[in-house]
Amino acid sequence: MAKLKKLKPVFDWAEVVADEKDWAASPPAALRNLLFQMYLVRRFERNLLELKKNNLIHGPVHTSIGQEAVAVGTMAALGRADGIGGTHRAHHQYLAKACSYHLAPAFDPVADEFPAALKQAMATLLAEIMGLDAGCCRGRGGSMHLCDPKIGVLGTNAIVGGGIPLAAGAAFAEKYRKSGNVVVSFFGDGATNQGAFHEALNLAGLWKLPVIYVLENNRYAVATSLAESSAAEELSVRAAGYGMTGRIVDGNDVLAVKAAIAEAAQSLRGGDAPPVFIDMKTYRDFHHAGDIPGSAFGYRSREEEQEWKERDPVETFRRDLLARGFLTETQDSQLQQLVDGLVAEATGTCVDAGAIKPALLPAPASIAEGLRGSGAEFATVRFTEPEAVPGPRKKMKYVEAIAAATGRWLEQDPSVFVLGEEVGHMTGGPYLATKGLAKRFPGRVLDTPISEAGFCGLAGGAAMNGLLPGQAGEVLKGTLLRGHVKTRWIVSSLLQYNFLFIATTLPVLVVCSLVVLASGCLPMSVSLLLFAGVLVSAVLPTVLFIWIRRGMVGDILAVIKKLPLVGRMVKDSLIEEGRKIDHEIRSVWKHRPQDFILASALLTAARFLAITEVWLILFLMNKAVPVPIAGAIFAASQVFSYVLMFLPTSFGVLEGGAKGIFKWFALDGDVGLSMELVRRIRKFFFMFVGLACLGVLAIVDPGVKKIIKTPEGGETSEEDMGDE
């Protein structure tokens, strides 16, 4: 019988606890500075809650009251050039980083003059939270999106877990430049269940990036407790899976926090140590946002809140300083008065007589700044046609051109690098888009795991920190090839509609032909009338496209639902989906009218061919058309439809005749008809043509009604009608 052999993971895991040595190593002025910063953060955020009550701040205010020691202790152990990334709850992180950047290491708040630069930083932060033009992002970021690269605030992110891959990218840039700087990524316990968290930590551990992942563990993701969201009681054990160092810290002990960060930063500055994951256990006094306790919502008790209040980081540290003689009651009062004055002064820069100063509001004309280019950015760029460029020419495949252009960028700019799935394997990936580049540029063409969210986020963080990443791989091949190939893919998919149409409508038309046979051979005039009526329906896609552009498809379906017989085929969910298509088509028409026109024309042609072929069969069954003539028309239709079908994928063979067409087809940009949208359009077209055929034949021959009559005993079921 098999035996179990116990294994132990190789994992550097420990708890950091501050002791007397940490107190002894801290100058009294530095200790008072830590208390001053925690006072400042708390007073600043309480002021935010007051401004919110007075309707001077729009949107939620997520305070960190109760968590001040995490931010202040962390920044105290970092250098001015180190960077941080935060979450939606990041006022304390921004303010503490500003303090560590602007205050001298020996600054004593009870003796030294407060620097004007830090006053300005406070005013800038407040202006941003209030949405004013003087903010660090000119009021566009608000409370949850703060960024000031000068002081090391690389960016805070309202998306849960969204900043974790970005921090990995920023750390990648620091390692790439061999700067010796580190990056700290703050996140909450809720983010540890996001896929981006795991993908980013795996990449960081794999490449040994100089990043410290700080879990600001306040025990609740909004109202969901840690016990309800995680199977692991200690979240720091997750570091073991990514080759990281794991640490646990009392997040309410500012000296323990500082010691843990100092140890981690020192190990990472050498460039070869694994990243560090630190679980800082703390507590937020209030609910997710606002100034109401969490107990008011029933997800935690008042007793629990009182227990943590007794461990309040600000009050605990204040008592310790007084007891150890590093602070007097007079100095404590002096610190609190200083903080009150600084916060009042910052508020005065934004508010006058209880209202926002009108001059600080962003100008309406600036609303689109940073969102869309005006064209002025290309004023110094010269555009030219390929034929006008001098020098030798070489004909190559499109994918070879991608590899050549990427190689040229790598040659010219040392800040460019390439990462993605298989970009360095198989001499250049499965599509050879990076052929030979890994060998030519070692260390700059990097293979990644199959973790698109992780390496895309990493690339974004690296770009934010000065590098120029290029991404490749299976998931991004459509983005790499862009307009020409992407549009051919769209065209090819639309033309496949020809065959899908035959497969979908053939049963309906066979039933129609059986009805015609059952009622006797129709005169040629009636047969031609039916044929003409169905051919007219081939134009329906273009007409429907125009209607959809006006946002009418949902209304059309709603009207059809009220009709007898056919109305039972239309479900409420179909009407709702039609309204979604209204919105998407309007977007396509607005941004890509070429795609709109192209899809209309191609779908019309494909439907015309399909209907012609199927109705030829109908005419043969009624002996209305001689067999030789029908066979010739059918063969010609097949040849033409196959030419249309394979034109997009046979561009090299048909280059002569199709060059002009595809020059128009090869549209640039990324906004176009998505495959999901094409699928929805197909479904509606199938339904409309089926209704048209049944409607026309029902008018001509009442016998059709017998076929579509509702079975006795109730309404038509989904099994009777099918999914569509």
What average pLDDT does the segment 403-422 reach? 90
pLDDT of residue 596: 58
The phi and psi torsions of 420 (rounded to 5 degrees) equal 160, 180
pLDDT of residue 535: 54
pLDDT of residue 129: 96
Rounded to whole angstroms, the Cα distance separating 147 from 150 reads: 9
pLDDT over 60 at 713, yes or no? no
Using alpha carbons only, give the angle 129, 134, 138 rounded to the nearest 5 degrees.
Answer: 70
Q: Compute how many other C-beta atoms are within 10 angstroms of the C-beta atom of residue 536.
A: 13
pLDDT of residue 333: 96
- Secondary structure string (H, E, C) spanning 674-685: CHHHHHHHHHHH
If you search the block for the tokens 């359009």, which residue do you land on? 681
If you search the block for the tokens 């950015």, which residue do you land on? 377
Q: Which residues contact 213 (CB under 8 A, 6 or more apart)?
A: 164, 167, 185, 187, 201, 204, 244, 275, 276, 277, 278
311-to-188, 279, 284, 488 alpha-carbon distances in Å: 20, 17, 12, 64
pLDDT category of residue 592 using cuts at 50, 70 and 90: low
Q: Name the residue type at position 73.
A: G
Using alpha carbons only, give the angle 328, 334, 336 rounded to the nearest 5 degrees.
Answer: 105
Q: Where are the beta strands (DSSP E) in 183-315?
A: 183-187, 211-217, 220-221, 224-225, 245-250, 276-281
Out of 539-543, 566-570, 686-690, 701-705, the most confident range is: 566-570
Q: What are the residue ranges of helices labelled H in 648-703?
A: 655-665, 675-700
Which uninterrupted H or E stretch holds 245?
Answer: strand 245-250
Question: What are the domain boundaries of the chain?
Answer: 18-350, 396-472, 481-721
pLDDT tens-digit map of 177-215: 999 999 999 999 999 999 999 999 999 999 999 999 999
399: Cα separation from own chain's centroid: 27
Rounded to whole angstroms, the Cα distance separating 361 from 276 reads: 42
pTM for the full predicted model: 0.67
What average pLDDT does the segment 546-555 reach? 57
% the chain with pLDDT above 70: 67
Instruction: Report DSSP state, residue 148.
Output: B
- Report helix, strand or coil for 248: strand
pLDDT category of residue 483 using cuts at 50, 70 and 90: very low
If you search the block for the tokens 């005169």, which residue do you land on? 523
What average pLDDT does the segment 515-537 reach? 53
pLDDT of residue 74: 98
pLDDT over 50 at 408, yes or no? yes
pLDDT over 50 at 652, yes or no? no
- Report helix, strand or coil for 667: coil
Question: Structure tokens of 718?
Answer: 């989904």
pLDDT tens-digit map of 6-20: 888 788 999 999 999
Domain made up of 396-472: CATH architecture: 3-Layer(aba) Sandwich (3.40)
Rounded to whole angstroms, the Cα distance separating 97 from 147 reads: 11
pLDDT over 90 at 597, yes or no? no
DSSP, residue by residue, 289-330: SSSS-GGGGTSS-HHHHHHHHTT-HHHHHHHHHHHHTS--HH
Burial 460-469, CB ≥16 within 10 A → b, else e: bbbbbbebeb
Question: Structure tokens of 115?
Answer: 């620097």
Instruction: Report DSSP state, residue 362.
Output: P
pLDDT over 70 at 594, yes or no? no
Q: Which has more pLDDT, 99 or 583?
A: 99
pLDDT over 70 at 723, yes or no? no
pLDDT of residue 246: 97
Strand partners, 14: 247
Q: Tell me if 258 sits within 8 A of 74, measured CB to CB.
A: yes
In this structure, whether the domain defined by 18-350 belongs to CATH 1.10.3720.10 is answered with: no
pLDDT over 80 at 272, yes or no? yes
Question: Structure tokens of 88?
Answer: 């939606």
For the chain, what is the radius of gyration of the CA atoms?
Answer: 34
Q: Which of 5-9, 159-163, 250-254, 666-670 has the lowest mean pLDDT?
A: 666-670
Q: Tell me if 156 sits within 8 A of 146, measured CB to CB.
A: yes
Q: Which has more pLDDT, 523 or 10?
A: 10
pLDDT tens-digit map of 445-482: 999 999 988 998 999 999 888 888 865 543 333 232 22
pLDDT tens-digit map of 495-511: 333 333 433 444 444 44
If you search the block for the tokens 């079908």, which residue do you land on? 645
Helix axes 675-700, 497-518, angle to 10 degrees: 10
Q: Name the residue type at position 602.
A: L
What is the residue-averaged pLDDT of the chain? 78
Rounded to whole angstroms, the Cα distance separating 664 from 425 reads: 36
Q: Active-site residue numbers?
A: 284, 288, 299
DSSP, residue by residue, 348-392: HTTEETTEE-GGGSPPGGGTTTTTS--SGGGTTPPP--GGGS-S-
pLDDT of residue 144: 94
Q: Which of 596, 127, 682 is nearest to 360 (CA)?
A: 127
pLDDT tens-digit map of 378-398: 778 787 777 788 888 888 888
Using alpha carbons only, give the angle 626, 627, 633 rounded to the nearest 5 degrees.
Answer: 95
Rounded to whole angstroms, the Cα distance separating 611 from 287 reads: 63
pLDDT of residue 564: 77
Q: Tell me if 689 sits within 8 A of 606, measured CB to CB.
A: no
User: How many residues are given for the chain?
Assistant: 724
DSSP, residue by residue, 554-602: HHHHHHHHTSTTGGGG--HHHHHHHHHHHHHHHHHHHH-HHHHHHHHHH
Out of 85-94, 407-416, 574-583, the most confident range is: 85-94
pLDDT over 50 at 270, yes or no? yes
Rounded to whole angstroms, the Cα distance separating 193 from 6 reads: 28
Q: Which has more pLDDT, 497 or 417?
A: 417
What average pLDDT does the segment 346-371 reach? 89
Q: Is it true that 18-350 and 396-472 share their CATH fold?
A: yes
